[in-house]
Amino acid sequence: MKTLKLIILLFLLTSCWRYNKPLSEIPNENVPPNIARIFVDKNGDFFPVNWKTLPYYPLRASSNNLGTTLIDTEESVLNKIKQISANKERIFILVHGYNNDENDAQNNYRKLQQIIQNNSTKDLFIEFHWDGLIAKNLGSTKIWFNAVGYSQMAGQFGLRKVLNQISNKQIYLISHSRGASVILSALSNPPYNEKFATETNEFYSIDVWNVEPLLENNNNITTIFLAPAVGEIDFTVPRNPNKYREFSRQIKAMHITVNNTDKTLNKYLNKPEIFNSTLLGSNKKAFLALKPHYPVLAMTDVSGLESHSFSKYLSHDGFIKMLNEYNISTNNP
C-alpha cells in the first residue's frame, strides 16, 4: 500500500499540465449571426489581439509590460458586448469547467446551441472561456487546487464585467463542473483561500477583496449548473464561513443537477467534501442545507448518469426538462 501511495504521489508531482490559452490571435470575436466569444486568463484579464507575441503568462506579468493594452482590450471587449446585446431579448452565457481546452469547450458549446431553439435576431450566445488549466489522467487532481482559485478570478474579474454591460434582458447562465464557481463569483464576491488572495495581490497587484459589484441592471437571471463542482463553502461570505452570501434580486432561479453516480464529483472515494468540496453536485445534502437560505434554488436529480462529461449532461433528459421549465424550447423531441 505504501508503494502504491508513493507511486501516486510521484505521478502527481511529475504530471504534465498546461494553461488554457486561446488558439486564435484574435481570441475575443463576434461570430455571425449571434455568437460572441470571450477568453480570459487566470486572473480574469481579457486576452488582447496578437497575444501570442507575449513572452510571459499570465498577461499581467510585469515583464510583458502591457500597461494600457489590457485596459484598452477590456474596454473594447465590453463595448462590443454592450452593443451586440442591446437589441437582443435573451442572452445565453455558456461557461465550461476546469481541465478544458478551447476545442473541448467549443464542441460542447456547439452541442448546447444545437439543442436550444434560438432566434438569431432575438438571441445572443456568449461563449466564455477561462483558464481552468489542462492535464491528463491523475494530473487533473494536481491542477484542481489552482483551478479553484482561477475560477473565482475568472468570474469576479471577467464574467462580472461582461454582465455589467447587459441591461433589461433575460439572461441564462449555463455552466458545467467548476464553471459554477465562475458564475457564482460573477454574481457576488467569493470566499477565496487566504493564501491565494495574498499571493495574487503580491504578484499581480490585484485586491480580490475590493472589486466593483454586480450592477443592478434590471436583468432577469436564471442559472443552470450542470454537475456543479462546488460546495456549501462557495455560498459563504468571504472570510466568514458561518454566514451565507447575498445575491442580486435579479436572480430568479438557480437550478442545479445532483448526481450521486458522478465519480469525479465524488472524487472516486465517495468523499465529495474533501479537497475543496464538490458536494452540491453529488449529494442532496448540500442542496437541502442551502435551500432555506436561497428560495430560488432548485434541483434535478440525474443520478444514474455515470459520467462527469459536459456532453453527457447536455444529452440527459434532465437537462432538457430544466430548459423547458424556463420556457426554453429545444430541438429534442
Using 50, 70 and 90 to split pLDDT, how confident is the model at 13? low
| Average pLDDT rounded to a whole number, residues 153-164 | 99
Domain ranges of the chain: 2-325
pLDDT value for 3: 47
Tally of CB atoms within 10 A around 148:
22
Q: Please give the Cα distance from 105 to 134 (Å, whole number).
A: 12
Closest CA to 85 of 124, 46, 133: 124
Q: Which CATH architecture has domain 2-325?
A: 3-Layer(aba) Sandwich (3.40)
| Average pLDDT rounded to a whole number, residues 51-58 | 95
43 has pLDDT over 90: yes
End-to-end CA distance of the chain: 51
How wide is the angle at C-alpha 184 spanned by C-alphas 291 and 293, nearest 5°? 20
88 has pLDDT over 70: yes
- pTM across the whole model: 0.95
- Percent of the chain's residues with pLDDT above 90: 89
The predicted-structure confidence for 226-279, as pLDDT tens digits, reads as follows: 999 999 999 999 999 999 999 999 999 999 999 999 999 998 777 888 888 999
3-state secondary structure of 72: helix
3-state secondary structure of 95: strand
The predicted-structure confidence for 93-139, as pLDDT tens digits, reads as follows: 999 999 999 999 999 999 999 999 999 999 999 999 999 999 987 77
7 has pLDDT over 80: no
